[in-house]
């Protein structure tokens, strides 16, 4: 039995994770971390009487093997640091964690020999899109990323878009044509991630979607993936939980365990 703590258990992704754990025979939910969790109705959040609930990181006492983190960009670093220092293997979906904090966590995990996984996206369609984008960038160095998300998303651009842009930049052999466009309205050309323009759309009705547009002389290629429901991320989380138990390093990207 793999014992799991879910940080952010009251949120959209946290609740999907709780339900997935409850439905998986060899996983046991032992704890949940969430601000404002005091006095909640356990039934509403799919928690049985044995699950420990903590409001703050400083209160956490657990025998969990794995720490699943779907929280907010400002808390994930401290949460994951705590997990590694306590020998709990992290599985992290929280986006917007700065590169320097991720680098520190990788070093700490290696020192403590407590491996885990940070995945910008646990959905198979997004992982494949990134792989195909890398391949396409070898032939089409000129590319732009458009990501579209629900209106509650705290960070922009998305973690997936940042990863996609970095992968395109690393894969393309030649420099892209740099258009000499003047922005008559600031931001019209999007943000610059590793030299790749990235545009972030936030609209009600959307969940999580990404397009990568490649252009070449007289032709274009468009890659697109859609997560219509947050259940799309759960097969990846379900794979990651057992995969990190024996890991000695903190891996970045679901492709490491597929």
Ligand X SMILES: O=C(O)C1=N[C@H](C(=O)O)C[C@H](O)C1
Ligand Y SMILES: NC(=O)C1=CN([C@@H]2O[C@H](COP(=O)(O)OP(=O)(O)OC[C@H]3O[C@@H](n4cnc5c(N)ncnc54)[C@H](OP(=O)(O)O)[C@@H]3O)[C@@H](O)[C@H]2O)C=CC1
Which contacts (CB < 8 Å, 24+ apart) does range 175-178 have? Answer: 175/141, 176/141, 176/142, 176/143, 177/141, 177/142
The window from 45-53, 54-62, 152-160, 193-201 that contacts ligand X (CB under 6 A) reads 152-160
Residue 54 engages ligand Y in binding (rule: CB under 6 A): no
Nearest residue to 131 via CA among 171, 158, 86: 171
> Does the annotation count 238 as an active-site position?
no
Q: Quick one: 172 or 209, whose CB is closer to ligand X?
A: 209
Q: Where does 21-109 show beta strands of DSSP type E?
A: 27-33, 52-54, 66-69, 89-92
The window from 43-51, 153-161, 174-182, 197-205 that contacts ligand X (CB under 6 A) reads 153-161
Residue 232 engages ligand X in binding (rule: CB under 6 A): no
Q: Does 96 appear as a known binding residue?
A: no
DSSP three-state, residue 127: helix
Q: Residue 149 binds what, of ligand X, ligand Y, none (CB under 5 to 8 Å, by partner type)?
A: ligand X
The window from 4-12, 20-28, 135-143, 165-173 that contacts ligand Y (CB under 6 A) reads 4-12
What is the C-alpha separation between 27 and 208, in angstroms, rounded?
27
Contact code string over 68-97 relative to ligand X, x by CB under 6 A: ---------------------------x--
Q: Does 159 appear as a known binding residue?
A: yes
> Does the annotation count 153 as an active-site position?
yes
Q: Does 141 appear as a known binding residue?
A: no
Nearest residue to 72 via CA among 57, 59, 60, 62: 57
Contacts of 216 (CB under 8 A, 6+ apart): 139, 140, 142
Binding positions for NADP(+) are 42
Which residues in this chain contact ligand Y in the complex, by CB under 6 A? 7-8, 10-14, 33-36, 70-72, 75, 79, 93-96, 119-123, 233
């Amino acid at each position: 039995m793999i014992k799991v703590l879910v940080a952010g258990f009251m949120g959209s992704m946290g609740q999907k994770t709780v339900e997935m754990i409850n439905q998986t025979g060899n996983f046991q939910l032992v704890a949940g971390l969430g601000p404002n969790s005091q006095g909640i109705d356990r039934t509403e959040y799919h928690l049985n009487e044995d699950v420990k609930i903590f409001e703050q990181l400083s209160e956490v006492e657990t025998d969990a093997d794995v720490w699943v983190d779907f929280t907010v960009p400002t808390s994930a670093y401290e949460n994951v640091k705590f997990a590694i220092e306590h020998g709990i293997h992290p599985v992290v979906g929280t986006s917007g964690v700065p590169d320097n904090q991720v680098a520190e966590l990788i070093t700490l995990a290696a020192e403590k020999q407590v491996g885990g996984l940070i995945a910008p996206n646990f959905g198979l369609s997004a992982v494949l899109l990134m792989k195909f984008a890398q391949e396409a960038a070898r032939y089409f160095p000129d590319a732009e990323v458009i990501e579209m998300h629900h209106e509650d998303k705290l960070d922009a651009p998305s973690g997936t878009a940042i990863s996609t842009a970095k992968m395109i930049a690393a894969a393309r052999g030649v420099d892209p044509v740099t258009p000499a466009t003047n922005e008559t309205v600031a931001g019209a050309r999007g943000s610059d991630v590793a030299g790749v323009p990235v545009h972030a759309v936030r609209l009600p009705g959307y969940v999580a979607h990404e397009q990568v547009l490649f252009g070449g002389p007289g032709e274009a290629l468009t890659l697109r993936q859609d997560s219509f429901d947050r259940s799309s991320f759960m097969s990846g989380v379900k794979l990651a939980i057992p995969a990190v138990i024996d890991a000695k390093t903190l891996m970045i990207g679901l492709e490491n365990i597929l």
